């Protein structure tokens, strides 16, 4: 396992594409896969669950849904 860790560090240090390195760090911190939408769609279909994050915030029209509840 030590050899793999050293190799990964060398790859990251030598990375010329700064944007790819930034995206790799973000995805590692969030636990989300770094893949194309097409691939992630296939993974979601295969697993039968969501892999991509939902949009941030409340769903559009959420107040209309509550109107019938007496609120």
Q: What is the pLDDT of residues 19-43, one digit of tens each?
A: 778 888 888 888 888 888 899 999 9
Q: Which residues contact 33 (CB under 8 A, 6 or more apart)?
A: 27, 40, 43, 51
What's the mean per-residue pLDDT of the chain? 78
| Residue 12, pLDDT score | 66
| Residue 69, pLDDT score | 57
Kindly report the pTM of this predicted structure: 0.51
Are 33 and 43 in contact, with CB atoms under 8 Å apart?
A: yes
61 or 48: whose pLDDT is higher? 48
Q: Where are the alpha helices (DSSP H) in 1-71?
A: 2-14, 18-30, 37-47, 62-67
| Residue 46, pLDDT score | 95
């Amino acid at each position: 396992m030590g050899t793999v860790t050293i190799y990964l560090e060398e790859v990251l240090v030598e990375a010329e594409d700064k944007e790819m390195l930034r995206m790799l760090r973000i995805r590692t911190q969030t636990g989300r896969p770094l893949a194309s939408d097409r691939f992630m769609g296939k993974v979601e279909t295969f697993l039968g669950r969501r892999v991509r994050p939902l949009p941030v915030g409340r769903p559009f029209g959420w107040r209309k849904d509550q109107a019938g509840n007496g609120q």
